[in-house]
Amino acid sequence: MAAGEPLLFVRQASGLTRAISSYTVIFFGLGLNFLPFQYFLMGNISFIFPGVNLVAIYFFGGLFVLLEVVSMALLYVAMPRSGAIYLPMSRSISPMLGMMEAWRSIIQNPTQRGVTAFLGASQFSAFVILTGTFTGSAGLISLGKAFSSNAWNLVAVGLLIQIIGLIVTWLGPGIMGKWVAIFVPSGTSKPGGTRRLVEAPTTKSSPRRTRTASLRPPPVSRLLSRLP
């Protein structure tokens, strides 16, 4: 770049226009408004009406979740560069709502995850007690009760859960894709199936490929074709 030339990135517009169909409008209206009923079905009905069929509750609640997921998928497909919910919201409804959602995520998400990790640690002690009850192990029952009696134990396990989540986030979703490419096909009945999925094919004309290409996760269609 010559001296004094302004640093400006210019990209020509493609002229692409996007339009939503009635099918998309229906999913937006249904999915985004049915989601609260999913929480009511899964979280409250089992306490209001003891003895209800939990499988049926989660099935019908999952249908509402599916509508919401499809709605969000359509939004993100229409805006492929969006990284969070605040971008589709600001572009489709109002920039002010998008800014409010961004601050909500900054303040509420860390608080919610910390509380969830603490509650998850308390559920771990309940799991140990139930395991001891089913197996008849008095030691496991005593261990679970002793673990839950001290709140600092729950805080320590909650911090451990947060650290594990931090490591996964720091590594990025790409490393998770590589794990899926390695472990998902491990149940295939064909010998060497996992190796063939992960390693890049070699030929006489190209005996060796780069490490980046060999570690790239295979397409989903190839993964599904390898499953028994």
pLDDT digits (tens, 9 = 90+) for 133-159: 888 888 888 888 888 788 888 888 888
Output the DSSP codes for the chain. Answer: --TT-----------------HHHHHHHHHHHHHHHHHHHHHHTHHHHSTT--HHHHHHHHHHHHHHHHHHHHHHHHHSTT--STHHHHHHHT-HHHHHHHHHHHHHHHHHHHHHHHHHHHHHHHHHHHHHHHHHT-HHHHHHHHHHHH-HHHHHHHHHHHHHHHHHHHHH-HHHHHHHHHHHGGGG-SSTTHHHHHHSPP--SSS----HHHHHSPPPHHHHHHH--
Looking at the fold, whether 53 and 125 belong to one and the same domain comes out as no
Range of the domain at 87: 22-109
Looking at the fold, whether 150 and 204 belong to one and the same domain comes out as no
CB 104 within 8 A of CB 98: no
Domain boundary among 109, 139, 161: 109
Looking at the fold, whether 164 and 197 belong to one and the same domain comes out as no
Tell me the percentage of the chain whose pLDDT exceeds 90. 0
| Residue carrying structure tokens 């028994």 | 228
Average pLDDT over residues 193-215: 41
Average pLDDT over residues 10-14: 57
What pLDDT shows up at residue 71?
76
Looking at the fold, whether 105 and 33 belong to one and the same domain comes out as yes
Looking at the fold, whether 42 and 79 belong to one and the same domain comes out as yes
What pLDDT shows up at residue 136?
85
Residue 112: band (very low, low, confident or very high) from pLDDT cuts 50, 70, 90: confident
Average pLDDT over residues 42-62: 76
Looking at the fold, whether 56 and 66 belong to one and the same domain comes out as yes
Q: Is residue 8 part of a domain?
A: no
Q: Can you tell me the distance from the alpha carbon of 103 to that of 88, in angstroms, rounded to the nearest whole number?
A: 15
- 151-171 helix and 138-149 helix, angle to the nearest 10 degrees: 90
Lowest mean pLDDT among 20-34, 90-104, 171-185, 200-214: 200-214
Q: Is residue 1 part of a domain?
A: no
Q: Of residues 184 and 10, which shows the higher confidence score?
A: 10
Looking at the fold, whether 39 and 73 belong to one and the same domain comes out as yes
Domain count, the chain: 3
DSSP label at residue 13: -
What pLDDT shows up at residue 117?
83
Looking at the fold, whether 95 and 146 belong to one and the same domain comes out as no
List the structure tokens of 211. 């490490």
What pLDDT shows up at residue 223?
45
What pLDDT shows up at residue 202?
44
End-to-end CA distance of the chain: 57
Q: Which of 25-39, 71-85, 131-145, 165-179 has the highest mean pLDDT?
A: 131-145
Looking at the fold, whether 138 and 179 belong to one and the same domain comes out as no
